[in-house]
Copies of this chain bind each other. A is one copy, B any other.
């Protein structure tokens, strides 16, 4: 069973306390600036957050984006003045006097459990705050106000709506600039934005949340990925099967997923005399295929694979484009084998994963690395009790990683219930590392499902199971790919691989001839026969990220050639139709990640 979507990485860097202090002080400076512009402002709270801070205000008018540079300028003045931060401990009554006319502060004072209140001052501004702060405002080096949002006081719809200003702050201007560039890039690469711009997928209210419709173009990418997975896995000895998307609840009771994983499963459907559930995982389905007849040691390793639809409950607030959906299709597999076949199978699995990652354009070490997730012998509740099997399995996984010199690290207490695992940690465009999918060693499920094989000696024995994906969920893989390539997919994945642009209507006939020839070679080709100027067509093709533009005019029609322009704007030397056909064919079949022919 693959983990519940992406889990937060627990190895985040220790928070930089010094930077956090500076960010907090910047929030106070912003508040002082706001007060100087709006003397009647009422103040909420102003904590730090990742990369920066915010502060909530009750103001006489609604802020607009144009207000932000004004506030920033005022802040710069305060920074330049290098005003010292000072603090004192006062009684609650004294605090009430200081914050007279500040209803939100007064409310907070009333609720404080302590007798005394810490109060910080800089310049004309005073705030209730535990600190610490920088010595003086001059220590604030680089900040920027990012956005304005509405926020209910204390998060309650029944309380007043305040105005929140978000800002970021860094140790120096260089870090801030880098952050801003990255943010711009992340925004540009957001798969939800690109998915819409390139018409790859769409969500419709009437269909439901977290349930994407893949358009013609998005479906081409999806199908190409799916066939790539299936064909490659079959080549590597997998039995690629179809098992049902739903099953009797008894199946999940046998596996132990129900009621243990009940909260992430869809509700039971009573049908006739049966209680059916949409499957949250594929494992028990594959075990039932294995168990459908007696198996011999000759049939092991028995590698079952499937493009398996899975259904897990996700709160609507957690749904994110294709990254988190309510139904996804996992490139899933369960390898049932003898214990002494585990090392060989694990190596084959990692070979496959690395082959696929490379085909998709991911570099080991740069875009992904491995994490060995171990159990905890002392925790019998979280982990199945069988110390010997745990020791054996953890050692097998570790040895495989060491011997293949894999880029990996170890963490404790992150294993599955039924055994240790290798997590494939992918880094997204924001540089954040998350578990994309896993390879798991399982010595528990074979017992639960009474899986067995007849060994050479004629005796029934218990196999072990390796759960694994090869590229993870198709939906999330697509989200990753869209962001990785910012929509400019390699040719083999591009929905339209080349567009023919006739210089004028006179060249339409030749364009049609080219189109027919290239279609026969299974190249996804289009003719742009719109009533638009050539330059407009080239611009549109570039916006659509179509890898090749074949501009055809008199010269090309006469010589039977094509003039190839790349989506990067680069112009290649003229090619004969046959040359172009065989070269683009090669780029597609070999999944070359370069446009040059």
Residues of A with Cβ closer than 8 Å to B?
199, 202, 204-209, 211-216, 218-219, 222-223, 227, 230, 239-248, 250-251, 254, 266-267, 269-274, 276, 278, 284-285, 288-289, 291-293, 309, 311, 313, 315-316, 326-327
Q: How far is the CB of A468 from chain B (nearest CB, A)?
A: 18
Contact check, A267 vs B266: say whether CB atoms are below 8 A apart: no
Known contacts A206-B250, A288-B204, A315-B272; decide if A241 and B267 are in contact (CB<8 Å): no
| A288, B207: Cα distance in complex, Å | 8
Give chain A's interface secondary structure class.
Answer: mixed
Q: Which of A218, A222, A267 has the most CB of B within 10 A?
A: A267
Contact check, B240 vs A288: say whether CB atoms are below 8 A apart: no
Specify which chain B residues have a CB less than 8 angstroms from the CB of A218 in the assembled complex: 242
Contact check, A245 vs B309: say whether CB atoms are below 8 A apart: yes
Q: How far is the CB of A479 from chain B (nearest CB, A)?
A: 15
Contact check, B271 vs A212: say whether CB atoms are below 8 A apart: no
Known contacts A213-B244, A267-B270, A288-B213; decide if A207 and B251 are in contact (CB<8 Å): yes
Select one of B215, B245, B272, B316 contacting A245, CB under 8 A: B245
Specify which chain B residues have a CB less than 8 angstroms from the CB of A247 in the assembled complex: 206-208, 211
Number of copies: 2
Select one of B211, B213, B230 contacting A292, CB under 8 A: B213
Contact check, A243 vs B266: say whether CB atoms are below 8 A apart: no
| A216, B306: Cα distance in complex, Å | 10
Specify which chain B residues have a CB less than 8 angstroms from the CB of A284 in the assembled complex: 206
Specify which chain B residues have a CB less than 8 angstroms from the CB of A246 in the assembled complex: 208, 211, 278, 311, 327
| A311, B311: Cα distance in complex, Å | 15
Contact check, A204 vs B239: say whether CB atoms are below 8 A apart: no
| A311, B276: Cα distance in complex, Å | 12
Known contacts A215-B289, A285-B207; decide if A271 and B326 are in contact (CB<8 Å): yes
| A309, B246: Cα distance in complex, Å | 12
Q: Which of A247, A271, A274 has the most CB of B within 10 A?
A: A271
Specify which chain B residues have a CB less than 8 angstroms from the CB of A211 in the assembled complex: 244, 246-247
Contact check, A266 vs B269: say whether CB atoms are below 8 A apart: yes
Specify which chain B residues have a CB less than 8 angstroms from the CB of A278 in the assembled complex: 246, 269, 278
